[in-house]
Amino acid sequence: MDIIGFFQNNYERTLLLTWEHVWIVALSVFLATLIGVPIGIAITRNQKAAAKVINSANVLMTTPSIALFGLMLPILAVFGFGLGKVPAVIALVLYSQLPIIRNTYIAIKNVPPELIDAGKGLGMSSWRRLREIEIPLAIPVIIAGLRTAAVMNIGIAAIAAYIGAGGLGVFIQQGIARVYDEMIIGGAIMVSLLAILVDAGMALLERLVTSKGIKLEKALKS
């Protein structure tokens, strides 16, 4: 088996598919963040809604991805988006909701009540408390949720090749169809590498956005 030869012969296509893959995942995580983080914060203010929202996100996550693509197909077909990148991105956004909403919710809930009390008592508005205390304290855990979502999406996006979304899943899908081992393994290697790189990148981001005071606190506690 000549994997290196495969990459040498197909490097342009490999780059293109990798780019496509990254793009789908990046867009979906971005959209999922815009939706999930505000929902996660909003449900900390309402205990009943919190249980419902988190359970719904749980159900979504337990649905197998192939099944979800299948379920969305007839609905999106009405708008002419049954196949391709649009249903893939939508599915990825939905899958990302659980880790993002759950982590945001837990992180905000875990802000020590005396900090909220002090902020309130000193005359911070609830918006200001959110911005200056709750979010800065929650951000490491929120980013950890994004990290889980991004890594998971890289895997699911590979499956989205079956509904014509493109990306590195194409190598795996075509490789299986053509019984072309180098292609299957080449695709798998690229997907794995991507997941490892994104994971490391998000870990770095987590460290960059965490306040020094909180890092010191963690270091002292452990």
Partner 1 sequence: MIQYEKVTKIFGTGEDTVTAVDNVTLDIDKGKLVTFLGPSGCGKTTLLRMTNRLLNISSGKIIINGKNVMEMDPVKLRQSIGYAIQQIGLFPNKTIYENIATVPRLLKWDEKRTSERADELLDMLRLEPSSFRDRYPVELSGGQQQRVGVARCLAADPEILLMDEPFGAIDPINREVIQNEFLRIQGKLKKTIAFVTHDIHEAIKMGDRIAIFQGGKLVQYDTPEIILTQPRNQYIADFVGADRALKVLGIIRCREVMEKSPPNVVQGSMNTKEVLKMMEEHNWKHAVVLLKSRPIGYVTPKALKYEDTEVREIARPYPVTVEEGSVLRDVMSHMLMYDMRVICVTDEEERFTGLVSLNHIQKHLIDIYAEDMRENV
Q: Least distance from C-beta 212 to partner 1, angstroms?
A: 6
208 vs 220, beta carbon nearer partner 1: 220
> Which segment (39-47, 56-64, 192-200, 205-213) binds partner 1 by CB under 8 A?
205-213
56 vs 211, beta carbon nearer partner 1: 211
- Residues in the interface with partner 1 (CB under 8 A) total 24
- Of residues 155, 163, 149, 172, the one with CA closest to residue 72: 163
Residue type at 72 in one-letter notation: M
The binding track of 96-135 with respect to partner 1, each residue x by CB under 8 A or -, is ----------------x-xx-xxxxxxxxx--x---xx--
Cβ-contact 34, 181 below 8 angstroms: no
Tell me the helix, strand and coil percentages in the chain, rounded to 5. Answer: 85, 0, 15
Indicate whether 222 belongs to the interface with partner 1 (CB under 8 A): no
Cβ-contact 102, 42 below 8 angstroms: no
Among 59, 67, 78, 220, binds partner 1 (CB under 8 A): 220
Among 12, 80, 208, 212, binds partner 1 (CB under 8 A): 212
**Cβ neighbours of residue 138 under 8 Å, at least 6 residues apart?**
104, 107, 108, 110, 111
- Residue 42 burial (CB < 10 Å; 0-12/13-18/19+)? middle
Q: Which residues of the shown chain bind partner 1 in the complex (CB under 8 A)?
A: 112, 114-115, 117-125, 128, 132-133, 136-137, 211-214, 216-217, 220
